Chain A
């Protein structure tokens, strides 16, 4: 008898748990937006601004490396919009018929060298090739990592660094982090001397424990950020409204605050 009662109360507790944990019911439209890790803070601000205009709309975000998000979408993850840190991911999704062909480039980003405050090892980009420097990059498979390698390559072809710069810098890589924010974390903790991240990653108070070294234009690359609507979206209209909002002055101002650069189209 006691056991039966215990079983019932356990079941009741389970039911309460499930009810308590289920998401609040959503009315009047909702958007699920998959966005590149580098957009994390910016999109949260933009989402809030969008909701201020459309009070009944519920927005949920999924932030990760663009390539991770692309795989998730390929595997059937439900989303309405995909904002990527490079056009390669959207091109791949377009080829697999997951997004509408009209993708909008809504902003751009550039790269910077970040150096740990604790480290004296790196004072200029040329020091990246010095022996015993520890460097963190994002995985070459994620956009930030691909761009970082491009930056190192560009330095290598310029006369001031020399041909061997690229190989020497690569030999200093201690870790290929799964996303760009992890690169920043490893530098901020002082575990590596330097890393290459987006300018937007270190704009707006996210520069604790680090020093930022800007790269000259000829060494830098421009990361273009496209946004695309997924074929499987349940609300094309609302998704379009968000895209339009993204290129509006209000949203562009928020992007600029976070270190992104406007694209002229």
Chain B
């Protein structure tokens, strides 16, 4: 095999440069347009700190935190199991993990209504006990978990798989318990992947719309998260809708950058 000369890499670099510029334009132009339009709209600042936006962002942050807590709690052991198990059934589970990714959120919401709704497969048995999930913030959390968990599990699984089995074995031969080995060896090595998946999942959860509007309905302060509030505001007041869109984008950027920095730090410590 010949060692490629530098000049031979030029077409590749050029292609990379062009596609990168196209990508940046494609993604940033709509965002720039949104910001420009928002700041030039009358009443933007008032709407930014207005009651409607505050109620919605509070609900969005509250529900997405609970959702991601549940995702991490359930997703981490599950992803570890998927990564380490050699059972043939794991392939079936794999498909099940990825299914919510291809399902349109509205379909997911409808399916959840049919399962957990008042007349639902499971919901009808909960109803006599006074437990009703639809139209509550729990329904919002359900919808968010449903769409966010695949991102986390996929990423966490890859992270766990990248941890050499020998490390865990060595730790155990030194007399460290399996649980402690997981905490002290496996988890620290997989942190960057876990955080990456967490960030993606959170982003998906906070932007969740279709499943929420179907399963949780739209009620300010109870189930009306930011995306629903934006759509509702679009029906009447563009400035409120724009302000909330900008607010959501900014909050999302702060959280994603924060998680990114944390991830970098964890990754650096591993080197």
Q: Give A contacts to B, CB under 8 Å.
A: 65, 67-68, 71, 74, 118, 134, 136, 139, 141-142, 173-178, 182, 186, 189-192
Contact = CB atoms under 8 A, between A and B. Distances in A.
B217 A68 contact: no
A223 B47 CA distance: 31
A177 B228 CA distance: 10
Contacts of B35: none
Q: How large is the interface on B (under 10, 10 to 19, 20 to 34, 35 or more residues)?
A: 20 to 34
Contacts of A191: 113, 117-119, 134-135
Residue picked from B118, B213, B220, most chain A C-beta under 10 Å: B118
Given A139-B232, A139-B235, A177-B213, 11 more contacts: A65-B235, A68-B235, A71-B234, A118-B119, A141-B235, A141-B236, A174-B217, A176-B220, A186-B217, A189-B113, A190-B117
A180 to B, nearest CB: 12
Nearest to B132: A134
Given A136-B217, A191-B113, A191-B118, A174 B232 contact: no
Contacts of B236: 67, 141
Contacts of A65: 235
Interface in B212-248: 213, 216-220, 223, 231-232, 234-236, 238
B226 to A, nearest CB: 15
B183 to A, nearest CB: 43
B223 A175 contact: yes
B218 A67 contact: no
Contacts of B213: 177-178, 182
B232 A176 contact: yes
B135 A141 contact: no
Contact of B232 (A134, A141, A190): A141
Interface string B199-223: 0000000000000010011111001
Contacts of A118: 119
27 contacts: A67-B236, A71-B234, A74-B238, A134-B135, A136-B217, A139-B232, A141-B235, A141-B236, A142-B235, A173-B219, A174-B135, A174-B217, A175-B219, A176-B218, A176-B219, A176-B232, A177-B217, A177-B218, A178-B213, A178-B218, A178-B232, A189-B113, A189-B117, A189-B119, A190-B118, A191-B117, A192-B135
A71 B113 CA distance: 30
A68 B235 CA distance: 5
Contacts of A178: 213, 218, 231-232, 235
Nearest to B219: A175
